[in-house]
A = this chain, B = another copy of it.
Amino acid sequence: MSAKYVYFFGDGKAEGDASQKKLLGGKGANLAEMTNLGIPVPPGFTISTEVCTYYYENQKTYPSDLPEQINEQIKKLEKLTGKKFGDDQNPLLVSVRSGAAASMPGMMDTVLNLGLNDKAVSGLINQTNNKRFAYDSYRRFIQMFSNVVYSLNHDSFEEIMNHQKKEAGVKDDTELTESDLIKIIEKYKSVFKEKKGEEFPQDPKQQLQKAIDAVFASWMNPRANTYRTLHGISNTLGTAVNIQSMVFGNMGDECGTGVGFTRNPASGENKFFGEFLMNAQGEDVVAGIRTPLPINELKIVMPEAYDELLSIGKTLEKHYKDMQDIEFTIENKKLYMLQTRSGKRTSFAAFRIACEMVEENLIDKKKAVMMIDPNSLPSLLAQVFNEEEKKKSLDNGGLIAKGLAAGPGAATGKIVLTAEKAVEMAKQNEKVILVRHETSPEDIAGMHSAQGILTSRGGMTSHAAVVARGMNKPCIVGCTGLEVDYENSIIKYKNGGDTSLTLKENDWISIDGFTGEIINAHINTIPSEIEQVFVNKKLTLESSKLAQEYKNILEWADSFSTLKVRANCDTPHDSMVARKYGAQGIGLCRTEHMFFESNRILAMREMILSPSTEERKKALNKLLPYQRQDFIEIFRAMDGLPVTIRLLDPPLHEFLPHEPEAISQLAKELNTAENIVKKHIEDIKELNPMLGHRGCRLGISYPEITEMQTRAIIEAACEIKAEGKIVFPEIMVPLVGNYKELENQEKIIRKTAEEVQKEKNIKIDYLLGTMIEVPRAAITADEIAKHAEFFSFGTNDLTQMGAGFSRDDAGSFLPEYIAQGIYESDPFAVLDQNGIGKLMEIAVEKGKSIRNDIKLGICGEHGGEPSSVAFCSKLGLNYVSCSPYRVPVARLAAAQAALSKS
- A91-108: CB near B (< 8 Å → 1, else 0) gives 000000000000000000
| B-side contacts of A775, CB under 8 Å | 775, 801-804, 839
A292 interface contact, C-beta 8 A: no
| B-side contacts of A812, CB under 8 Å | 684, 686, 692-693, 701
| B-side contacts of A697, CB under 8 Å | 813, 817
| B-side contacts of A820, CB under 8 Å | 700, 740, 744
Cα–Cα, bound, A465→B732 (Å): 38
A599 interface contact, C-beta 8 A: no
Q: Which residues of A421-453 are within 8 A (CB) of B?
A: none
| B-side contacts of A823, CB under 8 Å | 738, 740
Contact of A817 among B700, B832, B842 (CB under 8 A): B700
Cα–Cα, bound, A691→B802 (Å): 10
In the complex the two chains form, is B803's CB within 8 Å of A802's CB? no
Cα–Cα, bound, A816→B697 (Å): 10
Q: Which residues of A713-743 are within 8 A (CB) of B?
A: 735, 737-738, 740-741
Cα–Cα, bound, A376→B412 (Å): 73
> With A688-B689, A700-B816, A809-B686 in contact, do A804 and B822 touch (Cβ < 8 Å)?
no
A372 interface contact, C-beta 8 A: no
Which residue of chain B is the closest to A742 with respect to CB atoms? B822
In the complex the two chains form, is A806's CB within 8 Å of B691's CB? yes
A780 interface contact, C-beta 8 A: yes
How many subunits of this chain does the assembly comprise? 2
Cα–Cα, bound, A838→B843 (Å): 13
In the complex the two chains form, is B690's CB within 8 Å of A691's CB? yes
In the complex the two chains form, is B738's CB within 8 Å of A835's CB? yes
* Closest CB in chain B relative to A174 CB, distance in Å: 51
Cα–Cα, bound, A809→B801 (Å): 16
* Closest CB in chain B relative to A810 CB, distance in Å: 8
- A806-829: CB near B (< 8 Å → 1, else 0) gives 101110110011001111000000
| B-side contacts of A774, CB under 8 Å | 802-804
A805 interface contact, C-beta 8 A: yes
| B-side contacts of A693, CB under 8 Å | 809, 812-813
In the complex the two chains form, is B740's CB within 8 Å of A806's CB? no
- A689-711: CB near B (< 8 Å → 1, else 0) gives 11111010100110000000000
A337 interface contact, C-beta 8 A: no
A602 interface contact, C-beta 8 A: no
In the complex the two chains form, is B689's CB within 8 Å of A687's CB? yes
Contact of A691 among B741, B780, B805 (CB under 8 A): B805
Which residue of chain B is the closest to A773 with respect to CB atoms? B804
A51 interface contact, C-beta 8 A: no
A112 interface contact, C-beta 8 A: no
Q: Which residues of A43-59 are within 8 A (CB) of B?
A: none
Cα–Cα, bound, A659→B783 (Å): 48
> With A816-B701, A834-B780, A838-B779 in contact, do A800 and B691 touch (Cβ < 8 Å)?
yes
Cα–Cα, bound, A701→B809 (Å): 14
A892 interface contact, C-beta 8 A: no
A551 interface contact, C-beta 8 A: no
* Closest CB in chain B relative to A868 CB, distance in Å: 16
A836 interface contact, C-beta 8 A: yes
| B-side contacts of A834, CB under 8 Å | 780, 783
Cα–Cα, bound, A737→B737 (Å): 20
* Closest CB in chain B relative to A692 CB, distance in Å: 4
A622 interface contact, C-beta 8 A: no
- A118-130: CB near B (< 8 Å → 1, else 0) gives 0000000000000
Which residue of chain B is the closest to A813 with respect to CB atoms? B697
In the complex the two chains form, is A803's CB within 8 Å of B737's CB? yes
Cα–Cα, bound, A839→B804 (Å): 15
Cα–Cα, bound, A688→B817 (Å): 19
In the complex the two chains form, is A692's CB within 8 Å of B806's CB? yes
Contact of A804 among B801, B836, B838 (CB under 8 A): B801
A494 interface contact, C-beta 8 A: no
In the complex the two chains form, is B692's CB within 8 Å of A839's CB? no
| B-side contacts of A848, CB under 8 Å | none
In the complex the two chains form, is A802's CB within 8 Å of B776's CB? yes
Contact of A813 among B701, B801, B803, B810 (CB under 8 A): B701
Cα–Cα, bound, A535→B821 (Å): 51
In the complex the two chains form, is A806's CB within 8 Å of B688's CB? yes
In the complex the two chains form, is A835's CB within 8 Å of B780's CB? yes
Which residue of chain B is the closest to A834 with respect to CB atoms? B780
| B-side contacts of A803, CB under 8 Å | 737-738, 774-776
In the complex the two chains form, is A822's CB within 8 Å of B700's CB? yes
Cα–Cα, bound, A803→B691 (Å): 9
* Closest CB in chain B relative to A150 CB, distance in Å: 30
| B-side contacts of A832, CB under 8 Å | 776
Cα–Cα, bound, A250→B819 (Å): 87
Contact of A835 among B776, B806, B842 (CB under 8 A): B776
Contact of A822 among B741, B779, B802, B816 (CB under 8 A): B741
| B-side contacts of A813, CB under 8 Å | 693, 697, 700-701
Contact of A687 among B690, B802, B822 (CB under 8 A): B690
| B-side contacts of A808, CB under 8 Å | 686-688
Which residue of chain B is the closest to A695 with respect to CB atoms? B804
Contact of A780 among B695, B735, B838 (CB under 8 A): B838
| B-side contacts of A738, CB under 8 Å | 803, 822-823, 835
Cα–Cα, bound, A647→B687 (Å): 23
Which residue of chain B is the closest to A779 with respect to CB atoms? B838
Cα–Cα, bound, A783→B834 (Å): 10
* Closest CB in chain B relative to A898 CB, distance in Å: 27
* Closest CB in chain B relative to A327 CB, distance in Å: 38
In the complex the two chains form, is A804's CB within 8 Å of B735's CB? yes
* Closest CB in chain B relative to A11 CB, distance in Å: 48
Cα–Cα, bound, A687→B797 (Å): 15
Cα–Cα, bound, A680→B695 (Å): 33
Cα–Cα, bound, A888→B34 (Å): 78
> With A738-B823, A812-B693 in contact, do A836 and B776 touch (Cβ < 8 Å)?
yes
| B-side contacts of A695, CB under 8 Å | 804
| B-side contacts of A688, CB under 8 Å | 688-691, 806, 808-809
Given A687-B806, A735-B804, 12 more A-B residue pairs with CB atoms under 8 Å apart are A686-B808, A688-B689, A688-B691, A691-B806, A691-B809, A692-B806, A693-B812, A738-B823, A740-B820, A774-B804, A775-B839, A801-B801
Top-4 shortest CB links A-B: A691-B806, A688-B806, A692-B809, A775-B775
30 contacts between A and B (CB under 8 A): A686-B809, A686-B812, A687-B689, A688-B806, A689-B806, A690-B690, A690-B804, A691-B691, A691-B801, A691-B806, A692-B809, A693-B809, A697-B817, A737-B802, A738-B823, A738-B835, A740-B823, A744-B820, A775-B775, A775-B802, A775-B804, A775-B839, A776-B802, A776-B804, A776-B836, A776-B839, A779-B838, A779-B842, A780-B838, A801-B804
Interface set of A (CB-CB < 8 Å, partner B): 684, 686-693, 695, 697, 700-701, 735, 737-738, 740-741, 744, 774-776, 779-780, 783, 797, 800-806, 808-810, 812-813, 816-817, 820-823, 832, 834-836, 838-839, 842
